Amino acid sequence: MPVIDYLERNARIYGDEVALVELNPEQQESGRITWKEYELIQPTEKQAYRREITWKVFDEKANRLANMLISRGIKKGNKIGILMMNCLEWLPIYFGILKTGAVAVPLNFRYTSDEILYCADLADLDILFFGPEFIGRIETIEDKLALNRVLISVGETCPTFAENYRELVADYSSEAPDVVVTDEDEGAIYFSSGTTGFPKAILHKHKSLMHAASVEQKHHTTGKNDCFLCIPPLYHTGAKMHWMGSLLSASRAVLLRGTKPQYILDAVSKEHCTIVWLLVPWAQDILDALDRGEIKLSDYNLDQWRLMHIGAQPVPKSLIKRWLTYFPKHQYDTNYGLSESIGPGCVHLGVENIDKVGAIGIPGYGWECKIIDENGSPVAKGETGELCVKGTGVMVCYYKNPEATNEVLKDGWLLTGDVAKEDEDGFIFLVDRKKDVIVSGGENLYPVEIEDFLMKNDKIKDVAVIGLPDKRLGEIEGAIIEVKQGETLTEDEVNEFCLQLPRYKRPREIIFAPVLRNATGKIEKPKLRGLYGQEHLVDFENQD
């Protein structure tokens, strides 16, 4: 059953109930409202920075878009891109594309002009919807981007090289188009995070989207009375598929534009959110702000907040321990996944397994997992190997890249590229990314283990451990350390703290600098290696 059927069900049964809320606290603070109200979207009277949309309106907007696209010849097999910040228009456009039978192709809002053009060409986009924030980037490549595709502007400002979304959809029917979409039809292309170069296009069928929705609803028991706070970007499978649990349960969700601790707690309080998905940096910022007294829990209504879950990266055990001191009644879950496995949930901790914090968990609902050695044979419990997953949510392929597809798909199993191990109870622990393992003097070192240890230091906000070139050992461990606001930390203090580690795991170089992360919270280690690795190599080459 495709996910578009659930939208139509919700519109039919719960049509007058609120489906989505958009909050723009930064616009409220600055006094600038960058969006314009138009058909079917109404602001609340007292909060101009807040917009909401009902299930009926959500579905009608998707239908109007679908009927407009069909009138222009869009059908199954066409590819339609979305380059927008989180907003109320995002999901109706996404579902409108799905209703035509075409493939929805979300793009990373951090892409440069060259990356936008690269991905548009790679995915064979026929149409690109873009928000006002991207006019400048698109203008620089408009001559190439518009050669074989239509550009549609979504927002108050419409440049001359694009068509106006509002005007295009205004006169089309709000009834569902007469298109039969099945689970076996191609549904979406998502792009890899691009942390290893230009991203790959990941093709999924509709059954993957449906499976992801079922997994989310099952894992977090999302019910009709829940309210999900969505902060991460909707172009990413993580945010989208977590929201799919709300779609299945016909429950409300809030799209928050802004990640300040005050924004998050204010949204939870005023919108009565019950489920919040955070990235490690955001959870860290909330805890740090509480530690400094900048925010007080007593100022917010948080009693209904029942679940905090984290994904997209390894989660330090020390962070969750701190979190539970402030929020002792919270359920907690860790979600592991890849865009190739339609996002979060192929492995998850489970709210009932709080005693296993530190593990990424057990196979998720409808998923199988195994850990293999270099020969493809399963390893024994306690031994490290590459994590593989299998289930309905595995991608079809890397679009137009059979070589890369064959490298990671083996007999229905997806090779994740993550090094992991399984304990005696069957819980999987992520050791590191296969490509991030540091080989120093013939010894394999796993950065995540060192990062987890360093995060126990109360003065450290964030840390990334990378391999730095070394003439004698090949690589040495370098720790990029971001110190908490208001704290001071010296190299000697870090070295003394690391005496608790085995000698071969102690960082040999300490660099105090910001830890670069992408929009989904993953540490951008290739960029860090580019920044500091080459510099380190030059230092060594200049030595006698």
Digit-coded pLDDT (tens) for 234-253: 998 888 899 999 999 999 99
Q: Where in the chain is the domain with CATH 3.30.300.30?
A: 437-541
Q: Tell me the helices (H) and strands (E) count for the chain, helix number first.
A: 18, 28
C-alpha atoms less than 13 angstroms from C-alpha of 93 in its C-beta half-sphere: 29
CATH number corresponding to 3-241: 3.40.50.980
Digit-coded pLDDT (tens) for 351-388: 999 888 888 999 999 999 999 998 999 999 999 899 99
80-89, 202-211, 218-227, 456-465: the lowest-pLDDT one: 456-465
**201/194 Cα distance (integer angstroms):** 10
Beta strand 79-83 pairing with 127-130 = parallel
Beta strand 331-338 pairing with 343-348 = antiparallel
**482/288 Cα distance (integer angstroms):** 13
**Between 535 and 111, the higher pLDDT residue:** 111
Digit-coded pLDDT (tens) for 320-353: 889 999 999 999 999 888 899 998 889 999 999 9
Residue 36's alpha-carbon distances to 89, 139, 155, 408, in angstroms, are: 12, 22, 7, 45
**527/241 Cα distance (integer angstroms):** 28
Residues 6+ apart with CB under 8 A from 492: none
Q: Where in the chain is the domain with CATH 3.40.50.980?
A: 3-241
Which is nearest to 448 in space by CA: 471, 420, 473? 420
pLDDT at 233 over 50: yes
pLDDT at 189 over 60: yes
pLDDT at residue 535, as a whole number? 57
Length of the chain: 544
Task: Check if CATH label 3.30.300.30 holds for domain 437-541.
Answer: yes
Mean pLDDT of the residues in the chain: 88
Beta strand 186-191 pairing with 201-205 = antiparallel
pLDDT at residue 472, as a whole number? 61
Determine the longest span between alpha carbons in the chain, in angstroms: 77
Of the spans 84-93, 461-470, 503-512, which averages the highest pLDDT?
84-93
